[in-house]
Amino acid sequence: MAALGPLSLTACGGGADRAASPERTSASEAKQSAAIAGATSRFVHPGLLHTAADFERMRIKVAQGAEPWASGWRALLASGRSQLGVMPSPLQTVIRGGDGENFRQMYTDIARAYQLALRWKVSGDKAYADQALAFLNAWSSTMTTLTGNGDRFLAAGIYGYQWANAAEIMRTYSGWAAPDLARFQTMMLTLFYPLNHEFLATHNGSHVTHHWANWDLCSLASMLAIGVLCERADIYDEAMVYYKAGPGNGASSQAVYYLHPGHLGQWQESARDQGHSTLGIGLAGVFCEMAWNQGDDMYGYDNNRFLAGAEYVAKSNLKDAAGAFYNVPFATYRNLRNDVPVFASGGQGHRRPVWELVHHHYVNRKGLAAPYCALQTQQIGPEGDAGNGDQLGFGTLTFSRDPVKPGAAPSGLNAIGSGGQIVLSWWGSAGAASYTVKRASVRGGPYTTIQSGIIDLLSYTDSDLATGVYYYVVAAQGPAGESAASGEATGYAGVHPHTRLSLNQTTGTTATDSSGNGRNASLVNGPAWVAGRNGARALAFDGVDDYLSLPQDALADLSDFTIGAWVYWNGGRNWARIFDFGSGSMHYMMLSPCGADGLPRFAVTTNHGVGEQAVAGTVALPAGQWVHVALTLAGSTGTLYVNGAAAGSNPDIRHAPFRLGSTGRNWIGRSQYAGDPYFHGQIADFCIYRGALDASGVAALMHGQLGNAGAGEPQSATGAQQVSTYCAR
């Protein structure tokens, strides 16, 4: 504790916080913060990686000598970059990539500014604050250019968010003059943000899938940090929108490319190497933490998708009791440059000081289990800065939190049905020893235990099921006994009606779903009700701008499926759509009557057109006549049927509809791509079933012998019973 120096528990406060902070604030510092932030500030200050409450926790824990904070503090004190007496070395022009590289000089001074700022906030010794300001002011008054080859975008991203964090800590210091802060903000807005924005908009002139996830993620982290530091809500929101639904590999659904059972999320750069995979976790982690401190939960976004990726990367870089690296599942990854069928083991076992942040949020803030992230913290801690400029480090000091009380219920349970099996995955509870799976045949129970003692993987496959609808919950077993049950998940075994648009109406702007499941579709731009096939009705599309739109997330929980329709195609240009369900040209599932080769084509992708998994037709779809088309997915096998006969198949379709994520563009007759033609012709009896019909079932569907099998997705038949059962109905 002697190394702590003059420890003061009187804090420098946070200005216009949206919630009261336990950190005490002196009058002069509060005045300074208010002058900087303004009374109407949208943002919390300090509010990037660390808040006022975080610094209060650090001070108290260090003063108490509590672990692991005391060890984290000693790691900071031992760092050569946290010492007084070193002067800044600012550059007018910083170069990363190509001739004349000198960027290491900048990231070294960033690390010094950040570590000195931490020492001030924890110890209260203003000598460290003044020294940190010397670095911030020297660089903002000297640097005019950030350049280099394509790596300049990495510099703008990684060092942009790091500079902003050092400055955000210091903004509440009364010794930082407002003009100096303003000059620093100008540096961030004119030298760093423009490169962040340019990269996300253009990807340096390359295809959007060309760059690995880190490139996007560092730009996003920088933009988010600059938005807060500079009171620019537009920049902050730009980063948030991109992380949720942007087209590049740093967006949430692209960075965590594929979800395996047990919520193990394959990280995009696991197809590259493990050094970059761990870097990606560090960058995404700081993005989520900074957003969290501004009231936006990107940690929990899309059912904790980031945790799925973090656990995957953590596990794949750890060794088991026998000394071998853990095996992790891997789905082939494809982008413009790469087609990678196996996990990339290069650099496996890489240790990077980024895990405390992830572990303490999910486990000690939220009460979830993150066992592999926890193991990473144990083998690395206490975290330093690693010395390479890739991360700020010192997470043991800054992010550690007291453990939560165990006993919470598991969460995030989902149930995916395929081939007579239902695969369950859930999030575990901090402190739980094992898990019990329970099943019911009616919603809400009563439930019967079907498996107990599950430790890892947090997944269970319910097999050999009769056709039906099943309801599941999971409970945790811990020191206090069994927890409350998780939320209920519904699983479907066999074939069940999902959506049935007979399109047999005469008027109206809504096509009624006769399955009873309420997925009515809207007529957009006036497709016409007309006489159709065999005296029935149909919907006619003009090939100009009209189409049919199904509800938001219509296929959100659909795995194995059958989609069928009667189609009268008038012919025309390639790449019209019978259907195209998705969220844009990044995530979609489509069927075209005529692709580039003149044959029908089904394709599904979660990574733009370059990542398509397709079923290519073997016969041309006739134009100018009624044709029945159907598409089935059974496990990983997709099959196209034309007039009841198989006309193309692919055994390697891994992207079931639920993997598309949230879809708001679920269209019949229109493409996700703006340049593609609209469908020209008529469509009748468009239907979707849960589960894959076999050839005899598709034949029965074509002849109108399946019907709806009742309303509300009830039990129906599979296999050889399909035709007779539906005919009887």
Share of the chain above pLDDT 90, in %: 89
Under the banding of pLDDT at 50, 70 and 90, the label for residue 400 is very high
- State the Cα–Cα distance between residues 295 and 32, nearest whole angstrom: 23
Mean pLDDT on 227-248: 98
| Alpha carbons 330 and 333: distance in angstroms, whole number | 8
Per-residue model confidence as pLDDT tens digits over 661-698: 999 999 999 999 999 999 999 999 999 999 999 999 99
What does the pLDDT read at residue 2? 33
CA distance 232 to 37: 11
Q: Is the pLDDT of residue 719 over 90?
A: no
pLDDT score recorded for residue 706: 80
Token pair of 340 as six digits: 């990678």
At 473 the three-state DSSP class reads strand
- Which amino acid, one-letter code, is at 501? L
pLDDT of residue 378: 96
Whether the CB-CB separation of 515 and 498 falls below 8 Å is answered with: yes
For 617-639, what is the mean pLDDT? 97
For 474-482, what is the mean pLDDT?
95
pLDDT at position 179: 98
Give the HSE-up count for residue 549: Cα atoms under 13 Å, Cβ half-sphere: 15
Who contacts 387 (Cβ-Cβ below 8 Å, separation ≥6)? none
Average pLDDT over residues 416-437: 96
Q: Which tokens hold the place of 128?
A: 């460290």
pLDDT in tens, 308-350: 999 999 999 999 999 999 999 999 999 888 899 999 999 999 9
Distances (CA, A) of 500 to 304, 603, 656, 701: 33, 22, 20, 12
**Greater pLDDT, 336 or 451:** 451
Residue 707: pLDDT band with limits 50, 70, 90: low
Q: How far is CA 688 from CA 159, 585, 720, in A?
A: 50, 22, 20
Segment 409-426 shows an average pLDDT of 96
386 band by pLDDT with thresholds 50, 70 and 90: confident
Which amino acid is residue 480, in one-letter code? Answer: A
**List of E strands, 441-526:** 448-454, 459-462, 468-478, 481-482, 489-493, 496-501, 510-511, 521-524
- pTM (2 d.p.): 0.91
Give the per-residue pLDDT at 140.
98
CB 150 within 8 A of CB 204: yes
What is the Cα–Cα distance from 509 to 522, expressed in whole angstroms?
6
Q: How far is the first Cα of the chain from the last one, in angstroms, to the nearest whole number?
A: 80
CA distance 580 to 114: 49
Asked whether the predicted pLDDT for residue 7 surpasses 70, the reply is no
Q: How far apart are CA 45 and CA 164, in angstroms?
A: 12
Tally the C-alpha atoms within 13 A of residue 697's C-alpha that lie toward its C-beta: 28
Q: What is the mean pLDDT of residues 548-563?
A: 96
What does the DSSP assignment read for 283-333? Answer: HHHHHHHHHHTTT---SSHHHHHHHHHHHHHHHHTSB-TTSSBPP-----E
Q: How far apart are CA 627 and CA 213, in angstroms?
A: 43
Secondary structure (3-state) at 537: strand
Neighbours of 371 (CB within 10 A): 18
| pLDDT number for residue 555 | 95
For range 428-448, the mean pLDDT: 97
What mean pLDDT is reported for the chain? Answer: 92
513-548 burial, b for 16+ CB within 10 Å, e for fewer? bbbebebebebbeebebeebbeeebbbbbbbeebbb
Region for residue 321 given its phi and psi (left: phi exceeds 0; alpha: psi -120 to 50; beta: otherwise):
alpha
* pLDDT tens per residue, range 100-142: 999 999 999 999 999 999 999 999 999 999 999 999 999 999 9
Other C-beta atoms lying within 10 Å of the C-beta of residue 567? 27
Read off the pLDDT of residues 515-542 as tens digits, 9 standing for 90 and up: 999 999 999 999 999 999 999 999 999 9
The structure tokens listed for 251 are: 């967006």
Do 351 and 279 meet the contact criterion of CB atoms below 8 Å apart? Answer: no
User: Residues of 439-459 as b/e, b for ≥16 C-beta within 10 angstroms?
Assistant: beeeeeeebeeeeeebeeebb
Provide the 3-class DSSP secondary structure of residue 425: strand
Distance CA 192, CA 185 (A): 10
Residue 600 structure tokens: 């029908």
pLDDT band (50, 70, 90) for residue 263: very high
Cα distance between residue 677 and residue 545, in whole Å: 9
The pLDDT, as a whole number, for residue 429 is: 97
pLDDT score of 361 more than 80: yes
